[in-house]
Structure 1
């Protein structure tokens, strides 16, 4: 099932053909943007999810993540970037118009939180599935603490159309099947894992944080301080992606395999079935007490923290691994993006263009199977870049050899430049080449990166991270007050909100078993098998 026999140059040449050029216009992208609701004074909002926003359980585009205060905005897969940004702008406009004096926090690391017990767990109603979502979050709180879960990010969803995969299979002399498409997506994912150190360098936007985030946390990081309570590392890019953020040692030992779908699923399922000595102290339904969904390393698949995930949309109550087994990979979810504080919706169009180039390059480049040593090397490179990525002549490991980040990036950008030209040709634009040029300038000058711009501003003004966040939050609140709806208007959003509340009520009324039985049945269902 391998497609490695064709060289990079042959693949690049093939992509200039009419069939590939047409297929490239069918790339689909979606966004999931997280943002905390904050009070006018910059503290975390503790109010319930506003009813005007609809049901967090059943609304397609406005929901919550870990906390009632942590909103998540979702756009469907679209081929037109302008449509996606219109959707994002409209959602932000509607939300800011319906949360009173509250604002949206524009940074990945949380605002000032005096006590993490102030972070309210998300509530999804009284249905069994709603209670399951809440218990899962209670488990996250007990396992990792609420502050870690209050971190915001942006997820970028990416898929190639069937016409691309048909042309790709023809190029490589393979049959275009769902199995082959999944294998090729895993080829892309492996290279992403090898190269994703580049993402926090370019798009990391959390080099500093509010001191309240560190309360009670043990760490060995040599923080410096500025302002009244801001902690930073001089060359950091993304503290969100460091050990302070979305990591946990027990998961790191899992060695999740990205070589074949069946191994990926097997290891993920194993983690959901393997008892954890760390988490056994929390109840998981004993005598009706729920502090987590299970005592295992992972409660459910979503607990796996990874900078990328293979995805297949799930049906009602279908486990993500079962969806992958039954229908293969439909798209990939890039999870290494910090919220871009200089973009009102947390991401900008240039990032979209560069991510298209980056991900397509990950598919085009040779992609050997990943060894445990290669996976460890990728993790170490990621850690170097999030903590000191802007350090002059910072070194990475490449196949066991030490290389400078700039020299490795220089090779990659030669490929990116060619891929950008192909995408420009397909879309009849110049924005892909412009995006690659912009990011190359950031390779040459770390001060131009998002993290570099943030630290320059904070140091120049001896300004607190929180003060910058408040200024940007107020600016965006004002900007959206003047925004004119372009895709969905106020009435459309109100209709969607009302329909979602009705849908939640219907889910609650359809329950026919108690919660304990519901959870037992969910976990006791035999895992799906291929062609079942």
Structure 2
């Protein structure tokens, strides 16, 4: 185990970057049919469809700082949308969808034409409707002070080699425990009936999931990738084999909740040559009760989780472990967390709620003496001890009978 005093000393030294996916919606709750309003802006780009924007922040050394920029960029987008009587949709699940024509694939021309072709491929493979599910991707880098101090205690002589190994351990541990983010942050249990059938437009559907996009029929590949964590080269090669076989058309098609990424272009050769820069966590719902789509306490909890896993996780995942872990992610996205059952490493069955409380208890023991960390953990524990504190429960209570109309009212 990493020296506990060392890891908690550098608790606030990591850096954050956020990517928020969002749909552009008319004042009546229908998907927009105007062109993307920021064609040459690195902070507000097109995602899968022309009416789906992705808001990207820069890198910040505090959760407050990155959320402040996310709000500023969101305001900039909203101010432009007002000119066309449009708004940013505040949920992970889409509003009214009249047909597939409501989901126009993002337009690209010239030397970017390949991006349009790639999206045509995704639409054919996964269906357009699934691509409207939106969330927040958290990109997090461990504190350089923490990494360099831990490196000085290690047996390795090369810092880049150590840093890669540290992130591989973090990614492996997050594969084991990252389902807890589904449990604690899911906020999309309801959707409009048109997501399932155009004839059900205007009908609010309460699903079996606290997070539809993270559940069994959400944003997943049609196979379960098995990744290697022995070295950064082995990790890259385990992804490359799916590219070579045609199972994936590109690295971006790896719809896995955890990805290791380099600085700059997201290419495997860049990752191998230059090493890991950050971990990307992709299983975060948009929180409609937060102006930015994410509560600062949840983002700070993610940092606590990353540091705890980095400090204590030393297990190795077999292929069977990885298959089990992916199923746990989907199970933890269910709404009924008492009936939903996780399978632990020793094949013990435990309810999702109990499993979450166990992880939070272990984290609490680790962070004893750190008042801020304990407050953050208490906030998460309350979601499991007080059912009404869960975002998914609050969404149903507040918007469950008139999903789209309530969403429009919330925005106003």
- Output the TM-score relative to the length of structure 1: 0.73
- Whether the 8 Å CA contact 1:205–1:237 is kept in 2: the answer is yes
Give the Cα–Cα distance (whole angstroms) in 1 for the partners of residues 368 and 410 of structure 2. 35
Aligned to 1:379: 326
Give the SS at the match of 2:166: helix
- Whether the 8 Å CA contact 1:211–1:229 is kept in 2: the answer is yes
Give the Cα–Cα distance (whole angstroms) in 1 for the partners of residues 388 and 322 of structure 2. 29
Aligned to 2:182: 200
- Whether the 8 Å CA contact 1:155–1:335 is kept in 2: the answer is yes
CA apart distance, 1:160: 1.6
- Whether the 8 Å CA contact 2:14–2:144 is kept in 1: the answer is no
CA apart distance, 1:299: 1.1
Give the Cα–Cα distance (whole angstroms) in 2 for the partners of residues 88 and 212 of structure 1. 30
Q: 1:134 to 1:420 in 2, by over 3 A?
A: farther
1:256 aligns with 2:203: no
Q: 1:39 to 1:407 in 2, by over 3 A?
A: closer
- Whether the 8 Å CA contact 1:259–1:369 is kept in 2: the answer is no
1:267 aligns with 2:238: yes
Aligned to 2:101: 117
Question: Within 5 Å, which residues of 2 pair with 1:133-532?
Answer: 133-215=115-197, 229-233=203-207, 236-249=209-222, 251-252=223-224, 254-274=225-245, 296-315=246-265, 320-388=267-335, 390-392=336-338, 394-399=340-345, 400-418=347-365, 420=367, 431-459=372-400, 463-474=401-412
CA apart distance, 1:13: 3.6
RMSD, matched Cα: 2.1
- Whether the 8 Å CA contact 1:190–1:367 is kept in 2: the answer is no
- Whether the 8 Å CA contact 2:14–2:142 is kept in 1: the answer is yes
Give the SS at the match of 1:387: coil
Give the Cα–Cα distance (whole angstroms) in 2 for the partners of residues 117 and 264 of structure 1. 39
Give the SS at the match of 2:334: helix
Structure of greater relative contact order (alpha carbons < 8 Å, 6+ residues apart): 1
Give the Cα–Cα distance (whole angstroms) in 2 for the partners of residues 28 and 322 of structure 1. 24
Q: 1:301 to 1:197 in 2, by over 3 A?
A: same
Please tell me whether Structure 1 or Structure 2 has the larger radius of gyration of its CA atoms: 1
Give the Cα–Cα distance (whole angstroms) in 2 for the partners of residues 419 and 38 of structure 1. 44
Q: 1:173 to 1:248 in 2, by over 3 A?
A: closer
CA apart distance, 1:394: 3.9
CA apart distance, 1:173: 3.4
CA apart distance, 1:259: 4.1
Deviations 1:78-135 (A, max 9, x none): 11333222211211111111112101100101111110222111123x331x211111
- Output the TM-score relative to the length of structure 2: 0.93
Gaps of 5+ in 2: none
Aligned to 1:15: 7
Give the Cα–Cα distance (whole angstroms) in 2 for the partners of residues 456 and 118 of structure 1. 29
Give the Cα–Cα distance (whole angstroms) in 2 for the partners of residues 272 and 117 of structure 1. 30
- Whether the 8 Å CA contact 1:42–1:470 is kept in 2: the answer is yes
Give the Cα–Cα distance (whole angstroms) in 2 for the partners of residues 358 and 446 of structure 1. 22
- Whether the 8 Å CA contact 1:441–1:448 is kept in 2: the answer is yes
CA apart distance, 1:339: 0.7
Give the Cα–Cα distance (whole angstroms) in 2 for the partners of residues 378 and 457 of structure 1. 32
- Whether the 8 Å CA contact 2:7–2:307 is kept in 1: the answer is no
Give the Cα–Cα distance (whole angstroms) in 2 for the partners of residues 111 and 458 of structure 1. 13
- Whether the 8 Å CA contact 2:337–2:352 is kept in 1: the answer is no
Aligned equivalent of 2:110, options 113, 119, 127? 127
Deviations 1:264-301 (A, max 9, x none): 21121121121xxxxxxxxxxxxxxxxxxxxx221110
Gaps of 5+ in 1: 1-6, 217-224, 275-295, 425-429, 475-532
